[in-house]
Amino acid sequence: MNQQDELARDIRAVDGGHSLGAAELAERLAERGYSRPRVVETITALRALPMGAVVRTPNGLVFQRFHSYWGLTGDPNEFPTQDITLPATVLHLPEETP
């Protein structure tokens, strides 16, 4: 089951009769853990992410932040923040749990 199927299942579970307004439906879906992905659009915002943050660039590369540099999955090199192609989707923040 993909994420879209899971979302459809949860919509049916919380509003199978189509009786909820948009605000209440959104609230119930948020309670089930759904949210829009966070997108970083500026170098300043990228630098503000904490150590351990993981982002995916528009070309599909996945980077993790370490101290003052970023590591590319499967690549031993260090990348400065300005080398990350934006906008980037935040996949993980260290204070979040899966």
pLDDT (tens digit per residue) in 11-66: 777 767 777 676 777 777 778 777 778 899 999 999 999 999 999 999 999 999 99
**Residues 87, 72 within the same domain:** yes
**Which token pair is 56?**
């995916």
Q: Is the pLDDT of residue 98 over 60?
A: no
**Residues 53, 30 within the same domain:** no
**Residues 87, 44 within the same domain:** yes
**Residues 15, 53 within the same domain:** no
**Which token pair is 78?**
């260090």
For residue 27, give the amino acid letter: E
**Residues 26, 45 within the same domain:** no
**Residues 24, 59 within the same domain:** no
How many folded domains does the chain comprise? 2
The C-alpha atoms of residue 59 and residue 87 are separated, in whole angstroms, by: 10
**Residues 18, 60 within the same domain:** no
